[in-house]
Structure 1
Amino acid sequence: MKQWKSIAVSRDTQLEAAISVLETGGQRIVLVVDDDERLQGTLTDGDVRRALLRHKSLTTPVEQVMCASPQVAQLDWSRERILSLMESSRLLHLPVLDSSGRVVGLETLHELLDKKRIDNPVFLMAGGFGKRLYPLTQDCPKPMLKVGDKPILELILQSLADAGFHHFYISTHYLPEMIRDHFGDGSKWKVSIQYVHEDAPLGTGGALGLLPPGEIQLPMILMNGDLLTRIDYRSLLEFHQRHQGAATLCVREYESQIPYGVIQSEGHRITHIVEKPIQRFFISAGIYVLSPDLIGRVAPGQHIDMPTLLEQEILAGREVNMFPVHEYWLDIGRMDDFHRAQDEVRS
């Protein structure tokens, strides 16, 4: 069983602090306990994302968003009984309690089954010019700019390989030889890499039409080649498979404050004045899960951007879902983002 005290919080812990424990604990779950170590509830990625979708504040006490009645195992249960409950209830974690309701450990389905490889393919988009980072990109593709001592694209690939992915495609256009020379066939990272070259830019979704016909049989992760993130890819895939949509779009919450008092009115009569209101939106995080059927609908050579492609799916009546990202995420699109990445990789 896993040690659990490093992933325990109290009921009045703020959501922001609980998310930090969730990310650093590495178990994809937080246990909410009282002063006697009795289990009060659990907090998972799903609970956090549902709270974010409801625009819950990060100062919200964790007891308001936790699962207050989680399933548990008893200390004397056998491995087979625990595994049977986890599989029948589709659980990834199971707190283990003693006869007094105190937490004594944590079982995880991943450890019980020891399934480490993920066969879903990953498509990394690395063909852009990176014009906003000029002159750094004058002689170097943006994904090959170094953050610390490694190219951005290598940091992305390594994080995915560490998560268990082994089947990669990389799209290229601008200075493709630099990418091919660095990554080769992927054997250095114990993965396989195939390259998809765009002779002319095809937009953020057009390279999908250049994938080998019929080769994509499982939902595929598509990711921009200029992102640094600690997203839980397994949770993302599980979410997509559970909801069975044509696509899942990862989103981030973005806040924008209007620097003036906003007037609400009826005709010439003012009904309300809101001083410097904050508006919240969900924005694309540049990470997607795409069904094989969707990929097959992109014609070879078709120029299309991802927003347009997803809009077409929605208009056709196919389901496109969103997956809120609360983990670390940085889009290296501008020079200040690049400098920020250098600072954060050293911290």
Structure 2
Amino acid sequence: MRILNIETLFITEDQSVLEAMKQIDATGYQILLVSENNILKAIITDGDIRRHILRGGKLEDRVKEIANYNPKLIFEKDKDKALELMKKWSILSLPIVSESHEILSITFLKDYEIGRKFPVSAPVVIMAGGLGTRLYPYTKILPKPLIPIGEIPITEHIINNFMEYECNEFHLIVNHKKNMIKVYFSEAAKDYKIEFHDEEIQLGTGGGLSLLKGKLESTFFLTNCDILIRANYKEIYDFHKQNGNMITIVAAYKHLTIPYGIINMNNIGEIASMTEKPQYSFLTNTGFYVVEAEVLNRIEDNKAIGFPDIIEQQKGLGEKIGVFPVSERSWLDMGQLEELEVMRKELGV
């Protein structure tokens, strides 16, 4: 992997965590080099930002408060050992510096090489029964799970991502055009187990899980069939387990700029304040979860319900609901036609 201008990865200590998050999203390299006069002082990764947020840190905080001032690096004279060291240390990137710590370049290791070293082997449930109305007219011909992204359907991309972490047991909850989905996967060459669960009526994004009662006994991944999460699934799973969560929501930070001046009024009809093109950052539900099997037994049979409502029910019962934040670019959603093209471009297909 090569970047045309390494300076796109440079950031200063006094910039904000929000600026770092946006820069990581824009570059897509999951790392920034904290530098001054081209001298490496520290690094900051998407993992550093995530841990900061989970500790209750603010996006307005400075980079210097969360940066790693003792990073892994390699001197130019030893750069032929970079690949070996990245695998040894289980890291995705390694800055190459001179003896005076001047930044010369950076080398990268592909995510999948890291992922294969740390299997999860958890079952995966894919909610594949929706009508796909937002993708009409494509879904007039094909069910949403079979909409192609490049040469293979979105569902196959999802399965391939999980297979990198040795997840090879898949459960598809199907309804709309379900026979087409079954035929496709019956004919596809595969080295994983797939089981279909038929909804007789539309049960929403959560109600279909009642069909899995007695069939899943362990912690499982749950995902919608129109999204891809590009993150370390082992890290998500371990976070869920270590925190004793009943459900963990993978949530993506979104950054939104209102393209207008926003006016606030007082109670006598006068202007109180005005903000020109304000920016907002917030976490949004991606439709990707880690779930304990006990949740299945608490879902009413043949009743339509969304999974967010199930989360609220579990929270009301006193269960712990965790949030694992990922960057905006880590979440690809093809739920709308314009986003479908974005996903294709991001995946290079």
Kindly state the Cα deviation for residue 341 of structure 1 after the two structures are TM-superposed: 3.5
Contact 1:250 1:323 in 2 (8 A): yes
**Residue ranges of structure 1 left out of the alignment (5+ in a row):** 1-5, 76-81
Contact 1:251 1:324 in 2 (8 A): yes
Contact 1:256 1:279 in 2 (8 A): yes
Deviations 1:265-304 (A, max 9, x none): 2555643222343344322111111122223322332321
CA spacing shift, 1:44–1:146, aligned 2, 3 Å = closer
Kindly state the Cα deviation for residue 264 of structure 1 after the two structures are TM-superposed: 4.0
**Counterpart amino acid of 1:56?**
L
CA spacing shift, 1:276–1:69, aligned 2, 3 Å = closer
Other-structure match for 2:298: 297
Q: Secondary structure at the match of 2:164?
A: helix
Other-structure match for 2:203: 202
Q: How does 1:3-152 map to 2 (within 5 A)?
A: 10=10, 12=12, 15=20, 16-19=22-25, 23-24=28-29, 40-48=42-50, 50=52, 56=59, 63-64=63-64, 66-69=66-69, 115-152=117-154
Identity %: 23
**Counterpart amino acid of 2:244?**
Q
Contact 2:31 2:43 in 1 (8 A): no
Which of the residues 145, 150, 173 maps onto 1:171? Answer: 173
Deviations 1:22-57 (A, max 9, x none): x54xxx766757789866345342424635985637
User: How many aligned positions are there?
Assistant: 325
**Residue ranges of structure 2 left out of the alignment (5+ in a row):** 1-5, 76-84
TM-score by length of 2: 0.73
TM-score by length of 1: 0.73
CA distance in 1, matches of 2:313, 2:255: 25
CA distance in 1, matches of 2:66, 2:24: 10
Other-structure match for 1:79: none
Other-structure match for 2:275: 274
Q: Secondary structure at the match of 1:239?
A: helix
CA spacing shift, 1:112–1:129, aligned 2, 3 Å = closer
Q: Secondary structure at the match of 1:137?
A: helix
Contact 1:203 1:305 in 2 (8 A): yes
Other-structure match for 1:310: 311
Contact 1:170 1:194 in 2 (8 A): yes
Other-structure match for 2:224: 224
**Counterpart amino acid of 2:199?**
E
CA distance in 2, matches of 1:269, 1:35: 49
Kindly state the Cα deviation for residue 262 of structure 1 after the two structures are TM-superposed: 1.2
**Counterpart amino acid of 1:333?**
G
Contact 1:169 1:193 in 2 (8 A): yes
Contact 1:126 1:171 in 2 (8 A): yes
Other-structure match for 1:248: 248
Q: Secondary structure at the match of 1:208?
A: helix
Kindly state the Cα deviation for residue 308 of structure 1 after the two structures are TM-superposed: 0.8
CA spacing shift, 1:132–1:40, aligned 2, 3 Å = closer
Contact 1:118 1:166 in 2 (8 A): no
Contact 1:38 1:101 in 2 (8 A): no
Contact 2:24 2:46 in 1 (8 A): no
Q: Secondary structure at the match of 2:272?
A: strand
* Stretch moving more, 195-204 or 319-328: 319-328
Kindly state the Cα deviation for residue 258 of structure 1 after the two structures are TM-superposed: 6.4
Kindly state the Cα deviation for residue 71 of structure 1 after the two structures are TM-superposed: 8.1
> Structure 1 residue 328 and structure 2 residue 320: aligned?
no
Q: Secondary structure at the match of 1:317?
A: coil
Contact 1:39 1:101 in 2 (8 A): no
CA spacing shift, 1:31–1:160, aligned 2, 3 Å = farther
Which of the residues 153, 156, 165 maps onto 1:154? Answer: 156
Kindly state the Cα deviation for residue 72 of structure 1 after the two structures are TM-superposed: 7.0
Q: Secondary structure at the match of 1:138?
A: helix
